[in-house]
Chain A
Amino acid sequence: MKPGRYFVLGDIACAEGALYAGCNFFAGYPITPATEITEYMAKHLPENGGYFLQMEDEIASSAAIIGASWAGAKAMTATSGPGFSLMQENISYAYHTETPIVIVVVQRSGPSTGQATYPAQQEFYQSRYGAHGDYESIVLSPSSVQETFELTVRSFNLSEKYRVPVILLLDGAIGHFREQLIIPEKGAIEIINRKCLKNNRINSSDLIDNILPMAHFGEGKKLLITGSAHEISGKRNYDPKVHESTINRICSKISQAKDIIDLEYHHIEDSTSLIISWGVSARPSLGAVLSLRQEGIKIGFIKLKTIWPFPDEILNNLVHEDISDIFVVEMNNGMAVREVQRVLRPRRIFSIKKLGGVIPSINFIKENILRYLKCQK
């Protein structure tokens, strides 16, 4: 779509964000509620000079985008919980081989087939710890159609910059919401592309901020790519020190980065209590905060846009000493709340959770908070 104002699904905003970021390879497999992304890419990727493949399953889709990325593509796939589970082995390979790819997960209510057409936020931990082995993840989660476009572009930028798979955690609600989308002019959002290896061989001097430049197939550089423990040249090496340093490097390039964490906050200064939320749940959460404040309750609001790495340091700085009660609102059995408890103890931290594929309403959140505050008095 040309720059302008549109009224579209979150899934379409995601696909448009990918095209804006320069995605030129997509491999996918149909799954509710992510299918619209796959269909849209099938229709619009070729006219943008890219390639679309529908593979035989999600395992093959994730494998194909890694193969394409090493051939020089900006590659992406989109799926939901069951397909995401199938992809995990290949995602682990992408972490170890430092392959830039973007994986969009439109969460639906599980476990298993669950409520396939209902939204949920249950992949909070799978998106971080789903693949085997040690690694650091980048996971972003939008809570509106416009934000879906912006965070998709950002997913590609971070993936290319840090040579890492980036997971965009949508949910069935945001994916299927129809809202305003403003597509900016080309160049309005900066597009970052991977650094390419200039010489024929990789040296330790190529390593800047723990990030290696990338070479591609067919360039005559005799690439050696393996999921086995390897040196930066790609040569297999099982020396304990070599593998320890690889893991330290692929973890610290993410954990020490300063531009990954992104969150939004309102009314923190004068508050004594706080809602922390993410994804679709952040919408009624903000509604509840505004409504409670009208009733004289001093409550603030934080929305996480970067889910992983979890914003430990920023939360610690942001949440001042007067805030004693924190409510974490999400559509799962209490996941992000565990991280908040880890970071913001000894404050009193409670989970406001909604299961069954239902988005928590403003009243539901308000009732829970008011009931709790009454007990405290």
Chain B
Amino acid sequence: MSKIMNKYLRYLPHKFCSGCGNGIILNCFIRAIDQLDIDLDSYLCVSGIGCSSWIPSPYLNLDTFHTVHGRAIAYATGAKVFNNNLTVIVFTGDGDGAGIGGNHLIHAARRNIDITVFLVNNMIYGMTGGQVAPTTPKNAITDTTPFGNPEKPFDLCKLVEAAGGTFIARWTVFQPRKLIKIMKDAIIHKGFSFVEILSPCPTEYGRKNNLSIIDYYRYFKKLVQNKDDKLKFGIFVKKNLPEFCEQLNKLRNNILNNKNMHS
């Protein structure tokens, strides 16, 4: 194992299925924070429940906070507001972050709180054995859509953009160098950063929909290259707007100063 991995991982082997993208995301994240000049003690990695929530916890040798299903962003909000010095990263999945936890996602984006969310979209509920997700493509076969998915999938980046997120990107695990770059930009960005990472789930989604890992590669590559496609790739929102904790502290300091002046 390379030196860099030894430095950042506390437990191995990881438990991801062969062909899963989570290991690549873990690898890219480690390289991203290794290249950034941010105090490692300030990192707080929050996750919920699902395969993607295992990316930081227990493997990363940082403060890790493995919480309940769908609520990682709400837990992260409390910690970030109380200690603004934390560099808060949320690892979540499409079910965790956009299904059960969709409400917290849009409200964190609206507040523009300085949290980075890496949402791993594998288009299915993997950990529970392959049920339909809010991101599952139309007509896809899952355990709970055995006759094809009648619903259409969420465009999560559009959702977060509409809600007010100030850094929004979409990428896949098959182009890791660019993913590292996007991760770094997302972490540095002051405000709510959202990166949707398309990731294969050969065990649950691939098996049911006849997608081998090579098919996945071709499929994602086509999506990324096809400029006319509805699904955009790359960084497409990056703007500086007032950040929530800064606003809150400004108000609070005014109140405290007024109080001290009058007493």
Give A contacts to B, CB under 8 Å. 24-25, 27, 46-47, 49, 51, 53, 55-57, 59-60, 63-73, 75, 89-90, 93, 216-228, 235-236
Contact = CB atoms under 8 A, between A and B. Distances in A.
Contact of B79 (A55, A71, A222): A71
A60 B44 CA distance: 18
Given A70-B65, A93-B67, A219-B41, A51 B77 contact: no
A102 B251 CA distance: 25
Contacts of B13: none
A218 B44 contact: yes
Given A218-B83, A225-B65, A67 B77 contact: yes
A236 B252 CA distance: 39
B85 interface: yes
Contact of B66 (A67, A217, A228): A228
Given A46-B255, A68-B79, A73-B82, A223 B64 contact: yes
B217 interface: no
Name the residue in A66, A73, A236 with the highest tally of chain B Cβ atoms < 10 Å from its Cβ.
Answer: A66
B86 A218 contact: yes
Interface string B86-128: 1000000000000000011001000000000000000000000
A236 B54 CA distance: 12
B64 A225 contact: yes
Contacts of B65: 67, 70, 217, 223, 225
B67 A227 contact: yes
Contact of A67 (B11, B42, B62, B76): B76
Interface in B228-251: 248, 251
A68 B82 contact: yes
16 contacts: A25-B78, A51-B248, A56-B74, A64-B77, A67-B46, A67-B65, A69-B78, A70-B65, A93-B68, A217-B44, A217-B86, A222-B62, A224-B10, A225-B64, A225-B65, A227-B67
Nearest to B41: A220
A128 to B, nearest CB: 20
A224 B58 CA distance: 7
- Determine chain A's interface SS by DSSP, over half rule: mixed
B81 interface: yes
B57 interface: yes
B71 interface: yes
A24 B107 CA distance: 23
Given A47-B256, A64-B75, 6 more contacts: A71-B79, A218-B83, A222-B62, A223-B64, A227-B66, A235-B11
A220 B107 CA distance: 30
A321 B163 CA distance: 67
Contacts of A222: 10, 61-63
B243 to A, nearest CB: 15
A70 B68 contact: no
A72 B78 contact: no
Nearest to A73: B82
B78 A65 contact: yes
Interface in B156-209: none
B227 interface: no
B66 A60 contact: no
B3 interface: no
B96 to A, nearest CB: 13
B256 A90 contact: no
Given A59-B71, A68-B78, A72-B83, A236 B44 contact: no
A106 B7 CA distance: 49
Contact of A55 (B69, B77, B80, B256): B77
Contacts of B71: 59-60, 63, 90
A49 B82 CA distance: 11
Contacts of B62: 222
B78 A53 contact: yes
Nearest to A64: B78
Given A46-B252, A60-B107, A93-B68, A226 B78 contact: no
A235 B58 contact: yes
A242 to B, nearest CB: 14
A23 to B, nearest CB: 12
B64 A224 contact: yes
Contacts of A72: 82-83
A75 B68 CA distance: 19
A57 B78 contact: no
Contact of B74 (A63, A71, A73, A227): A63
Contacts of B64: 223-226
A284 B142 CA distance: 60
Contacts of B10: 222, 224
Contacts of B63: 217-218, 221-223
Contacts of B57: 224, 226
Nearest to B107: A56
B259 A47 contact: yes
